[in-house]
Structure 1
Amino acid sequence: MKICQCNNINVDGVHIIAPQGSPNTDGIHISNSQNINILNSVIATGDDCVSMGPGNKNILIQNIACGPGHGISIGSLGKYNNEADISGITVQHCTLSQTMYGLRIKTLASDFKHTAYNITYDDVVMDNANHPIFIDQEYCPSKGCDESKPSSVQIKDVWYKNIRGSSKSQSAVNLKCSSKYPCDNINFFNIDLLYQNSDNSVNANCKNVRGSASGIQNPPSCL
């Protein structure tokens, strides 16, 4: 399902299925839209359950059962010069099961300056998500990327609250931000992730990021 250049759209109670190994099968993709609500749905795909591209404003993703797939993603951003900013994104009361990623923001290495801001993730359960929390500003979907060039997308004012469950990898939190425009005001509150429902430890990795952490922090915060 693709929602493009739309305003005031509600998607409620849909069930979307694609084979787990099928490429480029986003369940719902939203771009250049505002006031969009995706509610009470089940999505199992070979790519993102929900993906949000540039130009979106005031998007609510609520009560989604996602998995398998690549999780709930913002991006990729920074591909084109004329992209509009993305802001006002809320993801809450969701469960991600056996996904490759959990909550992901991804930007390409380019000179195109854009901003992603005012983003909130709240009350999200991970069931063996491979990378539950992931900001990837070194995203390179093909071999043609210039890895020496930092992303010019600014990510700021992001809140992760009450994120809990299990991680399939020990690297549960990865914040790989741009050296040119470091992530700013990234906030963690009550993060409680375990390694595959066992007592083994998980870890957090931060790069070029400023923010704060409070409440439960498992893994120990790198902020």
Structure 2
Amino acid sequence: MTTATLLLLLLCYIVNVSCVVALPPKVFNVMAYGAVNDGTKDNVKVKKKKKKKNIHMAFSAAWKDACEYEGRGRVVIPRGVYALGSVIFTGYCRGTMSFIIHGSLRAPTDRQSFSLDTWIGFRYVEYLTIKGGGYLDGQGHVAWHYNDCSTNFKCSKLPASLRLDFVRNSWIHHIRSINSKNTHLNIFACHNITISNVRINAPADSPNTDGIHIGSSANIRILNSTIRTGDDCVSMVSGSRGIEVANVRCGPGHGISIGSLGRSHAEEPVTDITVRNTTFVATDNGVRIKTWAPSDATSASNITFQDINMIAVANPILIDQVYCPSGNCLEAQSNVEIRDVVFKNIRGTSSSEVAVKLQCSRARPCRNVKLVDINLAYRGLRGKSRAVCVNALGSSSGTQIPSGCL
């Protein structure tokens, strides 16, 4: 043992802190665990007279060994196509983790797999990086016609392509997700996650294929990404706080939404949300807050939508407190309180005549809503863009096209 090491150990003992000697990164290649990358079936190469295993077992074994490594464990998926069944990667890990996807992961198409809520999941992991430039192919085209959640409240949701639960201090970047059966990326009960340079793609008519869905999570950043899908590009529901969306291109899709809120009992508030420097192209909505009516009480507050470009967007600015996609809701008012909302420097074109619609609750009017420098022209052959405000309290300043209604 060197003199320097002895001095380090002595210092650790004196100040009563834990000292860990950093280990070099170590690669855990799934091919070394028998994974097959020809895309034909979910199995692995095994020695003769041994029982056949699944690819997800090879992935799980690689993850387990990497998770037990005290340095940076790197699970590597080389180029190729992997027919991967549902798999959940769990912590807690002894070191930091990287999940590096160079190849294309292909979801199962058998009907039995549709009952699961997750295709690829990570749970109870800290300091995780998911990267590599590879693909997650959800193969949603085989399942979308089974989706009836828009009309059936008790529907069984199809699996999300990628789900993070109780993950902290982690990064997802340079990953591509296509044709998810349901949500592409679902984030629940997570803290301090940065998502950047991801590309998400599904047809405009694919049901419930939200790009990124966030709930009960804090300090989530979505940056420099492109999302084209059949539902919300980004959605934030109960318990979302400290969320930043910046430099994102959205469309087709349903826009960026806070909500829907108030559908379930005892939902947590949504607060401290910033959406900035984003572009919407031919989306059904632009920036939207939506709450159910009737609803239980909760709140959405301290929300800023700023520096946004709209290109042929229906409903560019929308607060909808009578949200009821099935049309079978009771005649009642929303009890979700919306306050301290800023729409600033939002410009471009609206494909609907009503470019600004603030439809707030009579029971709990929206408070302190600000429209600042709005310039949204109607693309139609006749008429001009209009603004409609119902039960909304606030102010307008700067450029107001259409004329402000606050």
Q: Which TM-score applies when normalising by structure 2?
A: 0.54
> Which letter maps to 2:253?
G
**For 1:78 and 1:31, how far apart are their aligned partners in 2?**
13
The answer to whether residue 323 in structure 2 is matched with residue 128 in structure 1 is no
Matched, 1:194 2:369: no
Q: How does 1:10-49 map to 2 (within 5 A)?
A: 10-49=194-233
**Deviation, structure 1 residue 202:** 0.3
Partner in structure 2 of residue 172 of structure 1: 355
Q: CA RMSD for the aligned pairs? A: 1.1
Structure 2: 5+ residue stretches without partners: 1-184
Are 2:296 and 1:108 equivalent residues in the alignment? no
Deviation at 1:199, TM superposition (A): 8.2
Contact 1:166 1:197 in 2 (8 A): no
Measure the CA separation in 2 of the matches of 1:19 and 1:153: 32
Deviation readout 1:83-142 (Å, 9 max, x if unpaired)? 100000000000000000000100001241101000000000000001100100000022
C-alpha distance in structure 2 between counterparts of 1:46 and 1:79, whole Å = 22
Q: Deviations over 1:126-166 (max 9, x none)?
A: 000011001000000223311x2100000000000000000
Distance in structure 1 (CA, Å) of the matches to 2:349 and 2:382? 11
Does the 8 Å contact 1:57/1:86 carry over to 2?
yes
- The alignment status of 1:204 with 2:387, answered yes or no, reads yes
1:161 aligns with 2:332: no
SS in 1 for 2:205: coil
Structure 1: how far apart are the matches of 2:282 and 2:327? 27
Larger radius of gyration: 2
| 1:11-40 deviation digits (Å, cap 9, x = unpaired) | 000000011111101000001100000000
Instruction: Tell me how many residue pairs correspond in the alignment.
Output: 222
Contact 1:124 1:164 in 2 (8 A): yes
Q: Flag the 1:156–1:144 CA change in 2: closer, same or farther, 3 A.
A: same
Q: Which amino acid aligns with 1:102?
A: G
Q: Residue 201 of structure 1: CA displacement?
A: 1.1
Partners in 1 of 2:246 and 2:266 — Cα distance?
A: 29
Measured after TM superposition, the shift of residue 80 of structure 1 is: 1.2
Contact kept in structure 1, 2:333 and 2:363, CA below 8 Å: yes
- How many percent identity over aligned positions? 50
In the alignment, is the contact (CA less than 8 A) between 1:80 and 1:112 conserved in 2? yes
Code of the aligned partner of 2:379:
Q
Residue 284 of structure 2 aligns to a residue whose secondary structure is coil
The amino acid that maps onto 2:394 is G
Which is helix-richer, 1 or 2?
2
Q: Distance in 2 between matches of 1:157 and 1:57?
A: 14
Query: 3-state DSSP class of the match of 2:227?
Result: strand
Aligned: 1:95 with 2:279: yes
Amino acid at match of 1:130: A
- The answer to whether structure 1 residue 184 and structure 2 residue 367 are counterparts is yes
Contact 1:177–1:209 (CA under 8 A) maintained in structure 2: yes
For 1:6, the equivalent position in structure 2 comes to 190
Higher RCO (C-alpha under 8 Å, 6+ residues apart): 1
Tell me the distance in 1 between the aligned counterparts of 2:337 and 2:211.
26
In structure 2, give the amino acid aligned to 1:163.
Answer: I
User: What is the rounded CA distance, in whole Å, between the counterparts of 1:166 and 1:67 in structure 2?
Assistant: 14
Query: Which structure is higher in strand share?
Result: 1
Structure 1 contact 110–152 (Cα < 8 Å) conserved: yes
Aligned to 1:218: 401
CA contact (8 A) 1:99 1:128 kept: yes
